[in-house]
């Protein structure tokens, strides 16, 4: 199997994985929203299990108060939106790369560069926005505790994508400079005798 075939297999795997991450991010964001809505509809003294209210059970088993749960789920929605956007961009890159048949195109290198920059900026930005959302919701609900949000892990991946984009652009430049193979002149067909 040659190198280009391996790259294409990896692009197919990347497309599938980015699709899975996109779907999971949407589902997780929806679950966070459903959690906020369900906590809002649980009455403070209403539903009881073994002498403990359902809200008290949530407070005991999670080890945090309900306000922090609201704030964490609100921040979770923000982070899930960022991950969904990033996964969709990755999915689009892999789709275009597979259509081109090679990563060594100028448009592919440009798209990979944009994906690398987004892989650095989106998680950091969403972490900041998530921190702000957490702080606002926690303050409004008089919750205690700090969020545990971290968007620094993707910086390394984003930097690697930027470097790969530069390599792909160089490959496209080399392919453009490479002279085309000579075309053999067609000989006129000999008439049949």
Render pLDDT for 18-47 as a digit per residue (tens, 0 to 9). Answer: 999 999 999 999 999 998 887 777 665 555
pLDDT for 37 equals: 86
Phi, psi of 166 (to 5 degrees): -65, -40
Q: d(Cα 106, Cα 165) in Å, to the nearest integer?
A: 9
> What is the span of the domain harbouring residue 36?
12-43+53-177
Q: d(Cα 19, Cα 127) in Å, to the nearest integer?
A: 22
Phi, psi of 142 (to 5 degrees): 55, 40
Say how many domains are in the chain: 1
Run of H or E residues at 49: strand 48-49
Residue with tokens 């496209």: 172
* 144: in domain: yes
Residue in 39, 61, 62 with CA at minimum distance from that of residue 50 = 61
* 88: in domain: yes
Low-confidence stretches of the chain (pLDDT beneath 70): 1, 42-64, 150-152, 180-193
* 184: in domain: no
């Amino acid at each position: 199997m040659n190198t280009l075939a391996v790259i294409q297999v990896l692009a197919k795997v990347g497309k599938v994985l980015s699709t899975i991450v996109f779907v999971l991010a949407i589902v997780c964001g929806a679950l966070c929203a459903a959690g906020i809505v369900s906590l809002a509809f649980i009455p403070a003294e209403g539903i009881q299990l073994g002498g403990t209210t359902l809200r008290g059970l949530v407070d005991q088993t999670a080890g945090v108060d309900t306000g922090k749960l609201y704030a964490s789920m609100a921040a979770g929605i923000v982070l899930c939106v960022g991950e969904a956007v990033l996964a969709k961009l990755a999915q689009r890159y892999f789709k275009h790369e597979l259509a081109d048949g090679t990563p060594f195109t100028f448009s592919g290198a440009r798209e990979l560069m944009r994906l690398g920059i987004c892989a650095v900026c989106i998680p950091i930005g969403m972490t900041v926005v998530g921190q702000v959302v957490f702080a606002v919701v926690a303050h409004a609900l008089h919750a205690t505790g700090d969020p545990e949000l971290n968007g620094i892990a993707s910086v390394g991946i984003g930097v690697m994508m930027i470097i790969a984009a530069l390599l792909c652009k160089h490959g496209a430049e080399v392919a453009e400079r490479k002279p085309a193979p000579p075309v053999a002149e067609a000989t006129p067909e000999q008439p049949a005798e």
